[in-house]
Amino acid sequence: MFRPAAREVVKLPTRYFSCKSEPTRAVTATKKASREEIAGLIPAFPEIYPDFLQSPVWNRRNALKEELERQDMLERRMNIDIPEFYVGSIVAVTSSDKNLGSKEHRFVGICIRREKEGLLHQFTLRNTIENIGVEVLYDLYNPTIKKIETLKLEKRLDSDLSYLVDALPEYSTFDFHMEPQAHPAGTPIPVNECKVKLKNPPWTRRWEISSYRGIDDTWTQATPWYKRKLHKTLVNDYEKYDLIANYRTSSTKEQEVFVQTQMQKFEKERHAAGLTRRRILKSAASYK
């Protein structure tokens, strides 16, 4: 059933159609170059801080709610150092656990998914223990998390590694006592181009249809039954050409600049008040 989304169009700045009797000329001469010089902004902001993006659903983008949510998130980031990590980086999470004797629980794994925005932001770590694949989902802002460390900062060819479930176990086994590999500050983030081999089908999802670049060819392994039925499957990869559908769910530069300035303001206040010297808005690639 199609649920009708927001009734109101997101209130854009003054201009609607220019068919009013006086078509206001576009704001001329805002130098494109001036946008880049805004001090201290990170171009790859949506990749490093996916939780600070707006919700893809237009109806849920409310400035006041986002401001309150951002206040909580920044407070939390003052108390726990949330490092920069991407889908594909190896991350260790120590969280306090009521049941264990030592009251502390540590899990190391490769981050395969980062979902949702704001305080709801979740990331999933995957590891293979005694050749049993284990995935653990963590809320980034859950107060029981005590420490998050990025053992290996790297990216993969895809922004979603859910296919590791069907891949050979060797691709998702990481040693729990692996010591962190420091990422030289200022150098770009390495992209690990390794192509993953999958187990024999049946798979959890039809990987041969989706255009993942991180899997070497799935077509030969796919079961013949699915291949015969391929002409019936609904393949709508033309959706990626729909510019405005993409625009509706993606974030805009103005919004990013606004959020980053808010974070800088928060950071400056806290430094001025002498509460901490921690930096919130930071990027390993463009570290100055």
Partner 1 sequence: MNEARARFFLNLRQSIDPLLRVLSNKSAPPPSLGLAFDISGMPPATLKSSALTYGSVGEMIKDFSIVFGVPKYRTSKPKKVTRKFSFTRLLQPIDNLVTCPACSNIHPSDTICDACYSKVHKLTSEIKKKMMEYNPYVGEKQDREVYVKFKGESEAPAAVVKGKRVIELEKDRPTWFKKLTLKE
Partner 2 sequence: MLRSLISSATTGPTQEWAGRILLANSGYISQQRGRRRTLTPVPWLPPIKEHIPKNSFDLSQKTKNLLDDVIKKETLAASALARNDSQETNVAIIDIPHSSRRVGLVVRKIGMLPQWTNDGNRILCTVLEVDENHVVSVTSPDSWYKASAVGKRKAFNRHGPMWRVTVGAGNDDPTKYTLAYRRQFARAGVPTKEKLGCFLVTEDALPHAGQPLDARHFAVGQHVTATGKTIDWGFQGGMHRWGMRGQPTRRTTKSHRRIGSVGSVGDARIWPGKRMPGHMGYEWRTVSGLEIVRINNDKQVIYVKGSVPGDIGETLLLKDCLQDEKRLKSGPVPTWAPTLETIQEESELSPEEIVVPKNLLFNETFSSKLFRFTSPSIVFTDADAKRATGRDKTKAKIAKVKK
Partner 3 sequence: MGIHRRTRLNVVDNSALGKEADTTGKLPYCIHVYKQGRRAKHMPHAELGDKILVAIRGQMRKAYVVGANTHVHYRKHGVPVTDQNMIVLLDEEGNPLGNRITAPIPTKLMANRANVQFSKVLALANKYI
* Binding status of residue 21 toward partner 2 by CB under 8 A: yes
Binding mask 24-63 for partner 2 (x = CB under 8 A): -----------------------------------xx-x-
234 binds partner 1 (CB under 8 A): no
**What is d(CA 60, CA 235) in angstroms, rounded to the nearest whole number?**
29
Cα separation, 6 vs 22, in Å, equals 30
Segment 122 to 141, residues that bind partner 3, using CB under 8 A = 122, 124, 129-130, 132-139
Answer whether 149's CB lies under 8 Å from 92's CB: yes
Q: Given the rule CB under 8 A, which of 13-21, 82-90, 100-108, 280-288 is the region that contacts partner 3?
A: 100-108
- Cβ proximity to partner 1: between 21 and 204 the closer is 21
DSSP 73: H
- 63-79 vs 253-272: helix axis angle to the nearest 10? 40
Q: Which of 59, 62, 71, 144 binds partner 3 (CB under 8 A)?
A: 144
Contacts of 95 (CB under 8 A, 6+ apart): 104, 105, 107, 138, 142, 144, 145, 146
Distances 195 to 165, 171, 219, 274 between C-alpha atoms, Å:
14, 10, 14, 48
Q: Is 20 in the site for partner 1 (CB under 8 A)?
A: yes
Q: Rank residues 7 and 20 by Cβ distance to partner 1 and give the closer one.
A: 20
19's contact among partner 2, partner 1, partner 3, none, with CB below 5 to 8 A by partner kind, is partner 1
Question: What does 80 bind: partner 1, partner 3, partner 2, none (CB cut-off 5 to 8 Å by kind)?
Answer: partner 2
Contact present, 275 and 78 (Cβ < 8 Å)? yes
Rounded CA separation 172/131 (Å): 10
User: What span, in angstroms and rounded, lies between the C-alpha atoms of 146 and 138?
Assistant: 12
Q: Which positions touch partner 3 (CB under 8 A)?
A: 95, 97-100, 105, 107, 122, 124, 129-130, 132-139, 142, 144, 165
Q: Which positions touch partner 2 (CB under 8 A)?
A: 1, 3-4, 6-8, 21, 59-60, 62, 64-65, 67-69, 71-72, 75-76, 78-80, 96-99, 103, 118-120, 139, 141-146, 269-270, 273, 275-276
